Structure 1
Amino acid sequence: MAAPILLIASVAARLAWTYLAPNGANFVDLHVYLGGAAAIDHPGTLYSYVYADQTPDFPLPFTYPPFAAVVFYPLHLLPFGLVAFLWQIATMAALYGAIRISQRLTAAPAGPAAADWRWRGRRSRSGLSRCAAHSTTARSMFCS
C-alpha cells in the first residue's frame, strides 16, 4: 500500500516544484515545439521561427523535422498552461513506464520485495541470462 502513496507523493512534489519554484515552469523547449508548430500558419519558412522570450541572448530556433511541427500543431491550439501540465504528466508517466520495463528486464520483482531484489542473486526470468556475458570478468561478477 505504501508504493501508490509514494508514487502520488512524488508526482505531487514534482508538480509543486514545477509550479512553485521561481524558474520551475519555464518549459523553454515546449515553447519552441509549439511555436514552431504555430509557424505553419504564417507565411515564411518553418525554420525562420525563433523563441527568444525567456532566452533573449540565445534565441532558440525550431530545428526539428517538419513532421514534428505537424505532430505538435494540434497542441498549439490549446492554452499553453494546460499543454505544459499535460506535458509534465506525460513525462512522469513515460519515466514510470521506463522504470517498470527496466524492472522486468532485470527480473526485479514488483511489490514489497522490490526494495531488496538486487541482493537475492536472482536469475533472469527472460531468455537472456546474465551468465551469457562474453568476458570472463563479467561472467565471474554476475554468475556467481
Structure 2
Amino acid sequence: MRARHLLFVFALALVLVSAPLQCVFATKEASRVVLLNSDNFDEFVHGPMRHTFVLYCVKWSRQCEDWRKTWDRLSMSQSSKELRDVFTAAYVDGDKYPDIIKKMKVKGFPTATFYTPIYPEGMEYSGVREPFLLDSFVFQFS
C-alpha cells in the first residue's frame, strides 16, 4: 500500500515538474512575416517591384490563428525561392488597424490577398490553407 502511495506521489511530482519544462523547451515557429500598420502598409503593398501576400486577420478568430501558423511557414518557404528579394508575407491586425481594413475593402476574416505590380488591386486567395498550395499560387501569379 505504501509503495503505491509513493509511486503515485512520484508520478504526480514528475507531471508537475515536466509541464513547465515543456513550456520552456517549446519553440516558436520561425517566421519572416512582416507586421503591417498604417505607416508601412503602402510601402509594402504598393511599392515598386513588390510581391506582397497580405493576411488580414483579427486575434479573436480561431481560423485566423490557424492561418497565422500557415503564414509563418509560407514566409519561410518563400525565403528560399527565386522571388525572395521582392516577396513579402505580411499580416494586418484588423482590430488595431480598422482604417486599413476599410481602405482595402476587406469583408471578413481571415482574408488573404496577393499584391503584385501586375495585380496592384490584389488577388484574393480562396483556396485551401496548405503551404504548398500557397507557394504554387505565389509562383503562378508572380
TM-score (norm 1): 0.23
Structure whose alpha-carbon radius of gyration is higher: 1
The structure, 1 or 2, with the larger RCO (C-alpha pairs under 8 Å, 6+ apart) is: 2
Greater strand fraction, Structure 1 or Structure 2: 2
Kindly indicate which of the two structures has a greater share of residues assigned to helix.
1
